[in-house]
Structure 1
Amino acid sequence: MYIFYNVFFFIRLFLQSFGREINELPEVLLDKVTQIPELLESSRAVNTCKAYKRGFLRWKKWAINSGIKLEDTLPAKPLHVAIYLTSIIQTANSPSPLVNVFYSLKWFHDIFDFKSPTDSKLVVNILEAGKRKLARPVIKKEPVTIRMLSDMFDFLFMEGNSKNQRIICASLLGYAGFLRSEELLKIKRSDIVIDSTHMRVFIESSKTDKYRDGAWIVISRTGTKLCPVVNIERYFEWLGVDESDDVHLLCNLSALKELIKAFKPHVNDISKYCLHSLRSGGATAAANRGIGDRLFKRHGRRVSENARDADDFSRIRIGVHNTSDHEITIPSKTEIGTLQTVASVEHIAIQETRSDKPEVNETGTGNRVNDIGKEQPEVWNPSVDLYSSPLTSEHKQHVRQLLRENCKAFAWNGEDMGCVPDLQVDIKLNDT
């Protein structure tokens, strides 16, 4: 019903725009004209066309109710559009409706070959002003972690329970395959090919696949309890379906919402997570393990570096807690630490046997309690006990040399206090 109405809507606008030229066409070409509106609608994805159509109809309704003539709604005049955008800015809570109307009008004017009011500097500047005024800080949702998946699996898994197993499989697929929610909804049994070492999943269409070529993603068989391949095999066995069946993994959107609810008992605040948390969680884990950019983009079906950077895959989360009984204020943008790149990695052989006799440190680290009051030398040996270490004698000597070279990172004695000049602490005292 929607497709028929939508095509009729485009035909009516097409006739309104090119009616005079169509009347002058030879009869042999008139049959071809009827195909143009449907083709014009196919120039964008179905959901994009729906959004643009709603945006244009809102503009048209506002214009007619405001006394603007019907013929001035398409093509529209820049001043009228600027006034309409101004009215949206006064009532909207975000830039989304403003942007939707702008690009809806741009698309409708472009496909019907009209000069678009969105090319006007007046309209463009009104749009930018609205974006600035309605902008809100972006609060990104947290990614799902392996620990959360493990806790969810232990909580839900029951032998023969296909309903719980469906949630487990969808979560693991979304995590390991970097899948979007709409991609999970479309997966059928016939889209999954299981081999002895891996599983292939065919994604028929996705957000970045505008020509609908489809894409295969490969997920390795690990054999662990969180292995997507093992759990998918178990789920299909319990359902009793074979490879040719067109059974969907998830039937509807409400089933997708169950995925996030499944993590609720295992997190402090479930509102910090959404369906995208599965995709961002899997991608974050892969990036932290050094997966190459080319493989990363192919597996995640990304088309730009911006899409990859949006998930902050290179960010390392470090928790900072105040364990004292008073407030500590750290000013904004204060640098509390730095990350250093690894210069080299040495493989150290483990010493299987060692003598019970304590090893004498020939460099003489000594007990620094007795050094109170003595002058600190330029280079000295930090007091670090290496006797209990499984390192070989050769590696212990190497460690001692490293300690000696970096001795200033250690306290010389009990009176040697550290100092961080860039860190300012505001300590509030109760006494007067």
Structure 2
Amino acid sequence: MDADTKRLIQVEIQNTITDSQNTMMTVIKNLITSEMSSMQRQNQAIADKQLSKIEESLTYTYKFKKRGNEEQFKQNTKVLSKLKEADDHLAAETDRLSEHNVIDCREALSQGMTLIQQRQKMIKLADSSEAGWLVVHEYESNPLADNSDDEKRIFKAQTRADRKLKEEEKKRRDFRRYTPYSQQKPGSTPDKQSGTKKPGRCFGCGDKGHWKKECPKEQKNKISNDFNILHLQYLESRNSKKYTNVLNRDQSTMGIVGKQESVAFHARQSALQVSEPESPVGYLRESVDQWEAIGASEYVITVIKEGYALPFKTEPQKVELKNNMSAEQNPDFVTDEIAKLVSLGCVIECSDIPHVVNPLIVAKNKAGKLRLVLDCRHINVSLFQFKFKYENADVARVMFERAGIVGQLISAHPVFGQIVRLRTRRAYECIQDRISWKSLVYITPKCEEELKFWCNNSVELNTIGASFGHLTEDQVIDLKLFCDASGEGYGGYIMSFDGDYVPGTTVYGNWDYNETHNGSTWRELEAVRRVMYSNLDKIERQSLQVVSDNKNVKHILEVGSKKEILNDICLDIVETCNESSITLSSSWIPRNKNVEADILSRRGDNDDWGIQWWVLKKLDQVWGPHTYDRFASSYNRKFEKFSSKFWCEGCFCINAMSQRWYGENNWLVPPPILISGVVNKVLKEKAKATLIIPVWKSAPYWPLIHRQDSFISEVNAYLFFKGIGLDIVKHLHDVVEDSGVVEGSYLHSLAGNICDHLLCSRSENTCKSYSNGFKKWQRFISAQGHFALPAHPVHIALYLTRLLDSGASSNTVNLAVYCIKWVHGLNGYSNPTDNSYVKILQESAKRRAKPKTCRKDPVTPEMLIKLCEMFKSSSDLSNKTCAFIHKNKKISYMAAKANMVSKLKLVGGSADFGLHSMRSGGATQAANASLSVGDRCLKRHGRWKTDSSKDRYIADSVVKRLEVYKGLEFN
């Protein structure tokens, strides 16, 4: 081949290679350009879409007034956004549409059509349901899971919507007024009680004014923490192989499991708690004996022992399903829940893959709370479905009849007697408290007791019958119980039918602070109970008539009372009479014929004294714990077990001296008159006791415990408490310790004598007078809820105002001020009476005070001579020797006055005598004598400082008064 040919060939090859390279470069350039253009269009589309959403969020500021319009606007906005995307794709290249543009355009149009179709479906769903758009809201916001069937979702949404409609309707009904009058319009005066009062009773607590769903005592937990995850186990039976669901209480049970990272788990029913929950495994099986005792069926016993077996009609297909997407998206939650179930013993790890492995689902409610669910729908087709039917209200109306218990009992009143009215009070209340005629009746515990009484005693009362003898002859009465009650206390006694007093039946006592605030009827009825119970041994198997000056007592003892507290007392009295075979009746008498009982009710118990709690606490720490308070009452008892002089609520026995004290650590605070007997009883029975007595060395009981300057050997230890009942010792003890003085030091030993020296600053009588005055102030201010020590000046001024309103004299007001000042000084407090209000009230008391004149008739010499003539012969004396009188005992002022006045009335007739009648007689005789004594000598002899005081004791004679006219020398 020549050179030209070679050159030509090379040129052609070179041209071919060049053309090929140019073509390749062109193709590469076009390809790169196309891809870059496509990428640019995609980025532009994404940017336009994001910009569109930003513009939509920025421009969407309009607030709709109706929710339906807002939802429709949002839906149209979504459709418009999809149509805009399709338009953008079509407008991307007007000259040439790429395949990618067409696909994006079709996708946007398809999504827009889907939104329109979905909205049309929701409109039909809202229109077909009475709940309206509430069904749509529940359908869209509460899906069970991602793969749930649409039909099920619609059904559940419909159910939730109906339930919410009913709840809203109930809430609207709660605010309606059930009274027949119209609701009060709001005014300027605010209401004291908000809301309306519901009729009837609460079926939860039994109180009036609200219903069970609003009951404050009802604790409701709307969110259930119970898990009911079953387990499938392959069991081999004698006849065939079955897959049986077993819910057992042992750790060997296998079951339906969920799959989480190739680890199977077993769950039992459990209630999870936040702090250290207890496993419920084995609760029922531990009580299987009780189930057998009540006669449970064999099927129930089998379920308790072996667990519940699902009724499979066919063998489910072996399958291992994967967990739902929701479980895969929440791995931490699933792991934590499985760990909780394992810790409770409700889940165990399986070594082999079970026959059926069902998937786990994590469901989320509207509040965002997650729940772990085991989806067992795969085995539903293999279960046998039992059909059953509940009885409806129509069947219940035929099966049950309304009880007519109260009506039947009232119709039997001629046979049973007044016990019918007495024992149907609470049943009538339940009937009256019902909402309507056809509503249910709430049975209170008191009503239940009445129904049980008639169930147990109807036959016996029917055989006894009513006492028809009342129609023809009078009732035989053995004893009469007279009683009365006042604001301070109660009293009563028992007399025979003939009018003779029954010895040892007098009863009297005081009310405590709370009892004084009860009504007069309660006090009268409670007085009957206490007097009766205190003399129960004397009225057993007797016919007793209660005599009272209160007509309500007579009525209540016969037929009961509408007030529960009064009816309970009446029932207690009637039951006690039945147990003691006492025939009870009642009668009314006027108040002027019940004077003796009235005096007893105002008598009070002078021996009823006690100690303060800080003393008890100190002695109980040293010699306790004490177990029995032998001398107490319901209002001053120190321990749960106590004895009382007369019967009262809570006492274990009456008359502690008749009981045996051995075996108890006795707390003894006896009346002074019983101290000697108490000491002898303790020594005789060798009882363990703490005895609190006054340090009265001249008393008869002192030689029994103290001989030759020391206590007897039976006294193990003793303590002295000094003071006058005003907490001075305790306060001084606290002040000394607060000052830094250590107990046991020399300074602490000196503190014991401070109280004695402080009390010596006033005479003994003055200290007693101030102490009693302060205790009156203390009772008054404590009842009002304030402190007596230290006192507030304004409180003292109010106390003085009360004294002035009650007609107190100036001396009474001054005594109140001085006693408060004195006690505050003893306790180291500043003087609260140094106040302008207190001082002005004292001045007011002086100006308002009216002088009281209580002149007694004078005793003349003729009267004394006549009285001596009556007792000049010793034959008039009943006995020539006087009764033994202790040297340390003197006649009291009141006894001397009563003896003297009674004897003067024998010669003075209807004159008003007193102890000052002797001074008045002497002064009158001296002033009316022929040789009259001078005023100065008369005042000196009678120790009168003023003429007005002297003149009150002188009764001028008629002669002296006529001498005044004679001295005027009228013609």
The TM-score bracket by the shorter chain reads 0.3 to 0.5
Larger Rg: 2
Give the structure-1-normalised TM-score: 0.45
